[in-house]
Structure 1
Amino acid sequence: MDFPSKLIENAVVELSRLPGIGKKTALRLALHLLKAESDTTANLAEALAKMRFDITYCRTCHSISDSEECFICANQLRDHSTVCVVADVRDVIAIENTGQYQGVYHVLGGVISPIEGVGPADLQVDSLVARAAADDSEIREVILAISPTMEGDTTAFYLSRRLRDFEQLNISTIARGIPMGGELEYADEITLGRSIVERQRQAR
């Protein structure tokens, strides 16, 4: 693809690095920004820079946050006795959009994948166990809401083994409304909401 301007070409190259953005879409975006009010481009650049450098991770659940504690963990109206364990912050957003869950979360930061060299030590597993083991822990149920892929099932099995000795805990998995091999973030809100509501308790 030939460009009339090196500056446009540079913008297209950078935009096309984003997932799901090809060269043609990147060019449309670049030309849109070129025609937009200067404030629009400046505001976008500032928002992206602040997002990249100012966002932190919640000290409790490891979701993204604007402060040390995310707004969900800080909300005393949430059910802190129920923790929904997910692989990624995108899953938190997907579940929140269903409006069917009022508990709190724990974000692992991925799933166990020997092929990719990701083991339990690379995930936020120990901090989940520590949350359950704390003397002041309110946790009574852990929902394993992990995508039903081979890696997801391996991760869920490992977590259930790590948590099974906590007698106060009920460990459940989301109902199989999510197809095998599917990703939570791509499930429609009704299906995902139903899978949370109809979660199944695991045998110890």
Structure 2
Amino acid sequence: MPRAVAGPEIERLIQLLARLPGLGPRSARRVALHLIKKREALMAPLATALGDAIGKIVTCRTCGNVDVTDPCTVCTDPTRDARTLVVVADVGDLWALERAGVLNARYHVLGGVLSPLDGVGPDDLNIASLVTRVHDQEVSEVILALGATVDGQTTAHYLTDVLRDTGARVTRLAQGVPVGGELDYLDEGTLSAAIRARTQM
């Protein structure tokens, strides 16, 4: 069994960092060492920011976004098109679409996708509240911005059926060749989706 090379506080820091996505034990040790070397410039402000986040960050009861207000900044923005609702699996997807800056709509975070193998069914996601929002807010279009995975597509088909009687138009993001992508490097599924979603020049 390898011996500890640092005190329990540092070992605990490494163990906690290793739980973060994308960080294994080695990466966690490198990050911990970097934080320790930059205690005043980085570690202290990070500790303060984490403390603030614990006390102030809440989940928006309307859309499922995380913010410091409830309803969140997106839901209370009067310049957004309230008749267009973008459905995403997770908050990270919402942030990605916001960074792209191509939509000026409201969002609805499902909290995941349907996954029978993982035991995630319709009741485990924010689907009932989505249907309520589409009815109550007179939404005219629901954009399904879900991943191109099997679970993502299953969820999209399920939502299309659930929303069929709401009167809202249900669309989904186009899928296919990424900008700057070479055809030779793409998988068959991506190429097939790109051909089916082709548009007139």
Structure 2-normalised TM-score?
0.81
Higher relative contact order (CA 8 A, sep 6+): 1
Q: Is the 8 A contact 1:148 1:178 kept in 2?
A: no
1-structure distance, mates of 2:163, 2:69: 29
Q: 1:43 aligns with which of 36, 45, 50?
A: 45
How many residues are matched? 179
2-structure distance, mates of 1:161, 1:97: 30
Q: 2:65 aligns with which of 38, 63, 66?
A: 63
Q: CA RMSD in A?
A: 2.2
Q: Which residue of 2 aligns with 1:155?
A: 155
Q: Which residue of 2 aligns with 1:133?
A: 135
SS at match of 1:73: coil
Deviation at 1:154, TM superposition (A): 1.0
Q: Which residue of 2 aligns with 1:4?
A: 5
Q: Deviations over 1:30-79 (max 9, x none)?
A: 22222224363222112123323431111211111211111111101011
Q: 1:150 to 1:176 in 2, by over 3 A?
A: same
Which one is further off, 40-49 or 120-129?
40-49
Q: Which residue of 2 aligns with 1:164?
A: 164
2-structure distance, mates of 1:116, 1:140: 33
SS at match of 1:45: helix
Q: Which residue of 2 aligns with 1:19?
A: 21
Equivalences for residues 87-102 of structure 1 within 5 A: 87-102=89-104
Q: Is the 8 A contact 1:15 1:26 kept in 2?
A: yes
1-structure distance, mates of 2:109, 2:177: 19
2-structure distance, mates of 1:147, 1:111: 9
SS at match of 2:155: helix
Runs of 5+ consecutive residues of structure 1 not aligned to the other structure: 180-194
Q: 1:154 to 1:97 in 2, by over 3 A?
A: same
Q: Is the 8 A contact 1:57 1:63 kept in 2?
A: yes
SS at match of 1:115: helix
Percent of pairs with identical residues: 43
Amino acid of the structure 1 residue aligned with 2:42: T
Runs of 5+ consecutive residues of structure 2 not aligned to the other structure: 179-193
1-structure distance, mates of 2:128, 2:121: 12
SS at match of 2:165: coil
Amino acid of the structure 2 residue aligned with 1:128: L
Q: 1:107 aligns with which of 99, 106, 109?
A: 109
2-structure distance, mates of 1:147, 1:52: 29
The structure whose Rg is larger is 2
Q: 1:15 to 1:178 in 2, by over 3 A?
A: farther
Amino acid of the structure 2 residue aligned with 1:48: L
Q: 1:99 to 1:112 in 2, by over 3 A?
A: same
Amino acid of the structure 1 residue aligned with 2:162: R
Amino acid of the structure 1 residue aligned with 2:28: A
